[in-house]
Copies of this chain bind each other. A is one copy, B any other.
Amino acid sequence: MSENKSERVADNGLINRRKLLELGLGGASIAASSAVLGAEQGLQIPDWSKMPGPGPTAYGQPSPHANLQRLASTPEATYPGGGLSRTPLQHLQGIITPNSLHFERHHAGIPDIDPINHKLVINGMVRQPLVFAYEDLLRYPMVSKVYFIECSGNGNTNTRGVSGGSAQSIHGLVSCAEWTGIPLSSLLDEAGVLPEADWVAAVGADAASMGRSIPIAKAMDDVLVALYQNGEPVRPEQGYPMRLFVPGWEGNISVKWLTQVKLTKVPAQFRDETSKYTDLLPDRRARQFTFPMETKSLITSPSGEMTLPRPGLYKITGIAWSGSGSIRQVEVSADGGQSWADALIESEQWDKALARFSIPWQWEGGEAVLQSRATDSAGNVQQTRQAVIADRGTSAFYHNPGIQSWSVNLQGEVSNIAV
């Protein structure tokens, strides 16, 4: 493979994002001419080419050779209902997270809700309180959009400088799917919101019963009562039979197992927006209602706990997202932020959805620190980890958009470092 040093776009090996298409790959096997599938030249015909396999199934499963799994949390004795599982970001491509690998988070396990007995109540400061059965809601016009959702605590070990970990274990509480549901504004219009109502309180039906308050302007904007996730009914761990979906905002605000929406004058000041989901500052005050998730990106490969087998050409790839718009640009550095190059955006760039980026990288065997930095459509640039710490310290726990750094050592081992 010939390599043109004039195509370097940043230091320590980063190559023009379009150059890979011309170079060919170091390491790809080159066949002699006339190689064809078959017995010629010693090629074996594999069994699967000679004998039929099993027939169709009612509900498909992945190949056993593609054994992707979520990583579940260890149960805590003092918080028995609390659990989560993290998406294997380092093994995914594109931007959609398949339903079975979508991250989950719950505080009293996952309720098994029979939709026949589930109700959605809209009450409070409305002209006419309403109660909906699941079947009623299915008749409403719906909206379908691809959106990310990120747990507000995602990535807190990066901010806190905890060593070790993988893309999954550090940042795996982010996923992206097609969400289909009824605009909340449709249902609120039907109930008739009274002019004195400024907030909407949303409550969940599980035993932990999440409660969050949302300003009326957002509630009437793009919030959905979501019933479908990538085309099929919402999964139990993502809120079956219905969840609120609040695009771009903290994941907890998208209340799962939604059962009540109450119009109020002031925020309800639930437990989940006072003792939890507030950002504790070093001076012991806390920020409340820090709603949107920030502009953020993450290199998913090469990433922590991986090993590069040998020097050569690699694809650096990852995801980027913003709670305030679409992704305009992603830059990558291989020298810990000293020099940056534009990455190729492989996916569409949709509002409040993940975007997929990649850039070729020639690893010559030396040390490197890999980073990515996103800019969104509103011009927000992803903060460095130090900027996040300067803004709120290391005990805020929520909102961890700081740049993630992966170090590569002389043996090709990739690990998480706090820069």
Contact = CB atoms under 8 A, between A and B. Distances in A.
A70 interface: yes
Mostly, the A contact residues are loop
Given A29-B136, A141-B358, A228-B93, A54 B121 contact: no
A73 B57 CA distance: 9
B142 A346 contact: yes
A101 B60 contact: yes
B205 A62 contact: no
Contacts of A144: 93-95, 346-348, 356
A55 B75 contact: yes
Interface string A256-274: 0101101000000000000
A48 B233 contact: no
Contacts of A178: 94-96
Contacts of A85: 56-58
A162 interface: no
A55 B109 contact: yes
Given A203-B37, A206-B48, A207-B52, A60 B235 contact: yes
Contacts of A190: 24
Interface in A55-96: 55-66, 68-73, 75, 80-81, 83-85, 91-96
Interface stretch (A4-12, A236-244, A329-337, A386-394): A236-244
B209 A49 contact: yes
This protein's copies in its complex: 2
Given A60-B99, A136-B27, A129 B231 contact: no
A39 interface: no
A63 B240 contact: yes
A382 to B, nearest CB: 21
Nearest to A237: B60
A74 to B, nearest CB: 10
Interface of A: 17, 20-22, 24-25, 27-37, 43, 46, 48-66, 68-73, 75, 80-81, 83-85, 91-102, 104, 106, 108-115, 117-119, 121, 123, 128-133, 136, 138-145, 177-180, 186, 189-190, 203, 205-209, 227-228, 230-233, 235-237, 240-241, 257, 259-260, 262, 313-315, 344, 346-348, 356, 358, 360
Q: Which 4 A-B pairs have the closest CB atoms?
A: A48-B111, A53-B109, A94-B180, A94-B144
